[in-house]
């Protein structure tokens, strides 16, 4: 019998052994891609707050925010305690024949925090699951009599087959998967573009759109929909009885300066809200869609359809208990206010750097604790162009390859020189994103700004040369 590893065995793995197993059993190309960076050559052994500790002894400043998961930081003490309490008492995880007090309490807590009648919640595992559940409910609400769902031209709603049909970011839409739902898109933040689509899509003279799905704040591009756009869209959906879905999987739970971004605008309510990522406190894989009473009642609240949307791990006990504690921490530890303070300090610091280095920083974007910069990738620079021309063609087949290489060079140098972990957004502008937990200390934000400024002083040519020399030649 071949070797079966234990958790203790993994503590002894070298990075070469991990690479080898990834190449054989996970994804060979991931090794080729991620090993180009310093973090792809390290093994993380511990994490706490906004720090990651590696096997080689490094203390890494994590400014990825766990790609939206770590609003509470790594291993928040209260999250750990609640999970340990659940395990110690051997509470029941899942059983479909018994009502779950954890699902009941978590649903109640969410309803009590959201405006008006956003009352009914369903819990799944990923943001993509939540969005798919929301789309399914909207379709069922119209009894299958309408055909289309609309999303923006830079949207990101997930990578499953259904959600990929409403994800239009060019960075992820280069391969066209089978269309499982009929979808169309409109120009981001252009109300007339949306209105024209709705007026065009008719069947027998009646509106043929059952849902519009929006990201009030686009985490991949760091752009927001205007209040005017959102309010006009709300009115347009009401006029045409279209279900309005707000996807706040990434931007929600305090990340962007309010409990949810849409709550910046009084009286603006979606019909369905999706959330996830940090809902699990950095330890639980849980997401949710929450809808207004009338939409749920028409779609599912009858004996025939009561279990039409269900999953095996819906509302897993420890996951829902963790989510309850995660929400209580957000409220009790003033995460929303913290998020606003992070924005004031970090975003203003980035704008100061933009004024000092306008040829490098093209734009500064963000909201709350999710911020970033768009690096200038204009290749006409007489000094930059010769360096770009040295890159072998196999690395530049992707139309965004040069942008990725330039932004990646900054990500690489931040890690190698300053132990700072960052990433870029999966959208055409590829912003270098700076995302942090909502309990981060100000001194760590200051460390990032000072370190980033040192790289900017070197300039793109110097940073890019080091990255190309290390990884391509």
CATH number of the domain enclosing 290: 3.40.640.10
Whether residue 193 sits in one domain with residue 277: yes
Whether residue 235 sits in one domain with residue 175: yes
The answer to whether 335 and 329 have CB atoms below 8 angstroms apart is yes
Would 18 be classed as within a structural domain? no
Whether residue 307 sits in one domain with residue 409: no
- pLDDT score for 473: 54
> Which of 303, 332, 361 is a domain's end point?
332
- Tokens encoding 133: 């559940």
> Which of 332, 355, 373 is a domain's end point?
332
Report how far Cα 243 is from the mean position of its chain's Cα atoms.
23
Whether residue 236 sits in one domain with residue 298: yes
> Which of 304, 332, 360 is a domain's end point?
332
For the beta sheet containing 44-48, the strands, ordered from the edge strand earlier in sequence to the opposite edge, are: 44-48, 51-54, 59-62, 420-421
Whether residue 220 sits in one domain with residue 155: yes
Whether residue 422 sits in one domain with residue 283: no
Count up the domains in the chain and report the number.
2
Distance CA 258, CA 261 (A): 6
Whether residue 172 sits in one domain with residue 293: yes
Burial class (CB in 10 A: 0-12, 13-18, 19+), 24: exposed
Whether residue 252 sits in one domain with residue 168: yes
Q: Closest Cα partner for 468 from 373, 357, 389, 414?
A: 389
Q: Provide the 3-class DSSP secondary structure of residue 130.
A: helix
Whether residue 406 sits in one domain with residue 316: no
The answer to whether 470 and 462 have CB atoms below 8 angstroms apart is no
Whether residue 380 sits in one domain with residue 234: no
Whether residue 241 sits in one domain with residue 166: yes
Would 404 be classed as within a structural domain? yes
Query: In whole angstroms, how far apart are CA 26 and each of 18, 54, 198?
Result: 10, 22, 43
Burial class (CB in 10 A: 0-12, 13-18, 19+), 334: middle
- Tokens encoding 465: 């040369």
Would 13 be classed as within a structural domain? no
DSSP 49: B
Cα angle, residue 37 at apex, residues 36 and 41 outer, rounded to 5°: 95
In terms of residues, how long is the chain? 473
For 159, residues 6+ apart whose C-beta sits below 8 A from its C-beta are 128, 167, 172
For 268, residues 6+ apart whose C-beta sits below 8 A from its C-beta are 227, 230, 231, 234, 262
User: Within 10 Å of residue 193's Cβ, how many Cβ atoms?
Assistant: 15
Establish how many alpha carbons lie within 13 A of residue 436's alpha carbon, considering only the half-sphere containing its beta carbon. Answer: 33
Distance between first and last Cα of the chain? 42
- Tokens encoding 132: 């798919």
SS3 of 430-470: the string is CCEEEECCCCCCHHHHHHHHHHHHHHHHHCHHHHHHHHHHH
DSSP string, 104-129: HHHHHHHHHHSSTTEEEEEEESSHHH
Would 281 be classed as within a structural domain? yes
- pLDDT score for 400: 72
Would 210 be classed as within a structural domain? yes
Distance CA 324, CA 133 (A): 21
User: Within 10 Å of residue 340's Cβ, how many Cβ atoms?
Assistant: 19
Would 26 be classed as within a structural domain? no
Tell me the residue range of the domain where 149 lies. Answer: 78-332
Would 384 be classed as within a structural domain? yes
Q: What is the pLDDT along the chain (473 residues), one digit of tens a residue?
A: 888 999 999 999 999 999 999 999 999 999 988 998 999 999 999 999 999 999 999 999 999 999 999 999 999 999 999 999 999 999 988 777 899 999 999 999 999 999 999 999 999 999 999 999 999 999 999 999 999 999 999 999 998 888 888 988 876 666 677 788 899 999 999 999 999 999 999 999 999 999 999 999 999 999 999 999 999 999 999 999 999 999 999 999 999 999 999 999 999 999 999 999 999 999 999 999 999 999 999 999 898 888 878 888 888 999 999 999 999 999 999 999 999 999 999 999 999 999 999 999 999 999 999 999 999 987 555 666 666 666 655 555 666 778 888 899 999 999 999 999 999 887 778 899 999 999 999 999 999 999 999 999 999 888 988 888 777 65
Whether residue 54 sits in one domain with residue 120: no
Would 131 be classed as within a structural domain? yes
Query: In whole angstroms, how far apart are CA 251 and each of 71, 204, 216?
Result: 10, 38, 8
Q: What is the CATH number of the domain that holds 353?
A: 3.90.1150.10
């Amino acid at each position: 019998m071949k070797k079966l590893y234990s958790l203790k065995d993994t503590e002894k793995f070298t990075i070469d052994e991990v690479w080898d197993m990834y190449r054989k059993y996970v994804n060979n190309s991931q090794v080729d891609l991620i090993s180009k960076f310093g973090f792809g050559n390290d093994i993380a052994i511990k994490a706490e707050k906004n720090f990651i500790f590696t096997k080689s002894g490094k203390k890494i400043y994590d400014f990825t925010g766990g790609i939206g998961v770590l609003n509470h930081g790594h291993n928040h003490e209260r999250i750990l305690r609640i999970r340990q309490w659940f395990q110690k008492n051997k509470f029941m995880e899942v059983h479909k024949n018994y009502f779950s007090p954890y699902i009941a309490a978590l649903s109640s807590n969410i309803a009590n925090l959201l405006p008006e009648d956003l009352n009914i919640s369903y819990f799944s595992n990923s943001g993509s699951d939540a969005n798919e559940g929301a789309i399914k409910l909207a379709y069922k609400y119209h009894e299958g009599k309408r055909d289309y769902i609309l999303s923006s031209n830079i949207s990101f709603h997930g990578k499953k087959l259904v959600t990929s049909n409403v994800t239009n970011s060019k960075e992820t839409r280069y391969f066209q998967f089978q269309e499982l739902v009929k979808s169309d898109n409109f120009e981001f933040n252009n109300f007339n573009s949306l209105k024209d689509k709705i007026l065009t899509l008719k069947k027998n003279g009646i509106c043929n759109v059952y849902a519009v799905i929006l990201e009030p704040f686009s985490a991949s591009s760091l752009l927001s929909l205007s209040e005017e756009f959102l309010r006009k869209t709300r009115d347009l959906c009401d006029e045409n009885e279209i279900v309005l879905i707000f996807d706040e999987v990434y931007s929600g739970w305090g990340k962007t300066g309010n409990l949810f971004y849409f709550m910046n605008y009084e009286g603006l309510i979606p019909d369905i809200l999706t959330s996830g990522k940090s809902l699990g406190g950095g330890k639980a894989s849980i997401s949710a869609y929450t809808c207004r009473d009338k939409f749920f009642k028409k779609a599912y609240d009858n004996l025939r359809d009561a279990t039409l949307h269900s999953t095996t791990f819906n509302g897993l006990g420890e996951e829902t208990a963790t989510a309850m504690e995660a929400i209580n921490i957000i409220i009790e530890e003033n995460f929303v206010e913290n998020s606003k303070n992070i924005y004031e300090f970090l975003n203003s610091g980035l704008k100061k750097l933009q004024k000092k280095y306008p040829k490098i920083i093209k734009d500064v974007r963000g909201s709350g604790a999710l911020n970033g910069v768009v690096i200038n990738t204009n290749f006409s620079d007489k000094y930059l162009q010769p360096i770009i021309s040295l890159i072998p063609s196999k690395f530049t087949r992707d139309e965004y390859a040069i942008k990725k290489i330039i932004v990646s060079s900054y990500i690489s140098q931040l890690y190698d020189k300053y132990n700072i972990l960052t990433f870029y957004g999966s959208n055409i502008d590829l912003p270098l994103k700076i995302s942090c937990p909502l309990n981060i200390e100000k001194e760590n934000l200051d460390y990032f700004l000072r370190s980033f400024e040192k790289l900017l002083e070197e300039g793109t040519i110097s940073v890019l040369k080091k990255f190309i020399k290390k990884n391509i030649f």
